[in-house]
Amino acid sequence: MNPKNRNALAERVVKAAEAALAARGYASSIDVLVGIGWLDAGKVEQWRRGQIDYLERVVQTNLPRISEAMKLFRSWATRRGLSASPTSYIARSPRRQTLRFSRSGDPTIEALYRTHWVSQELSERKRQHLAEKASRAPDLVVVQPLNREWKCHRCGKTGDLLMMENPGPACLSCVGLDDLEFLPAGDALLSRRVKAKSTRCAVVVRFSRTRRRYERQGLLVEPLALADVQHDLKLQRRE
């Protein structure tokens, strides 16, 4: 890359990284790739759901340019005196597999991609909270489909709920969530406590045609956890 193009790329990288740092107190490689326009946010969500095998596949440029941008990003972080925070990226899928960034899968490259750069101006407690939040496995998402005629790409069956996978929609039986019970939204205390107690759970969403977005309908939770929390709350409300 010639010096003129490198300087132009450096300006774009710094602008994207500074924006992320100002907004959240840290910056990540994904923030930079999205911010400079090489990576679509929708593709990131597909990758987080395990529908894309590695993130570099959907970055809209070649590997040498990606590598150069990441070097510029790390140089910026070093100059700014930011703290390196290794972060876990776990798929939003029942298998909870570790997400892959690079085509090669090289551990060193993966570690560089996974590093978040955190502001030293934040307190130690705040930095720790950010690290824990970033590494937390994301919620599983289950969809109430508008189209009732969908079919599971694995078994050919249908149902009231589905989970999207790379080949297509999958029924809850095939993804191992058919034993969970639906808890409608509405009781925030009950939902919060059941979610904390249930070792497996998923957020249920439905697409709103009027608002043009997915909206939360409730949770899928373990029946025993739901029964235990309902019993505890019933006793508390009697007191």
Mean pLDDT of 9-15: 97
Mean pLDDT in the chain?
A: 93
Residues 110 and 69 grouped into a single domain: yes
Q: Is the pLDDT of residue 204 over 90?
A: yes
Backbone φ and ψ for 84, nearest 5 degrees, come out as -80, 130
Residues 118 and 146 grouped into a single domain: no
Least confident of 100-104, 105-109, 122-126: 122-126
Residues 112 and 160 grouped into a single domain: no
Residues 39 and 129 grouped into a single domain: yes
Those residues whose C-beta lies under 8 Å from the C-beta of residue 236, and which sit 6 or more positions away, are none
Q: Is the pLDDT of residue 1 over 80?
A: no
Residues 8 and 114 grouped into a single domain: yes
Q: In the listed set 135, 164, 197, which residue is the last one of a domain according to the structure?
A: 135
How many folded domains does the chain comprise?
Answer: 2
Q: Give the pLDDT confidence score for residue 66 in this predicted structure.
A: 97
Residues 107 and 11 grouped into a single domain: yes
Residues 164 and 217 grouped into a single domain: yes
Question: Is the model more confident about 239 or about 24?
Answer: 24
Q: In the listed set 84, 102, 135, which residue is the last one of a domain according to the structure?
A: 135
Amino acid sitting at position 15: K
Residues 120 and 153 grouped into a single domain: no
Residue range(s) defining the domain that contains residue 112? 3-135
Residues 84 and 202 grouped into a single domain: no
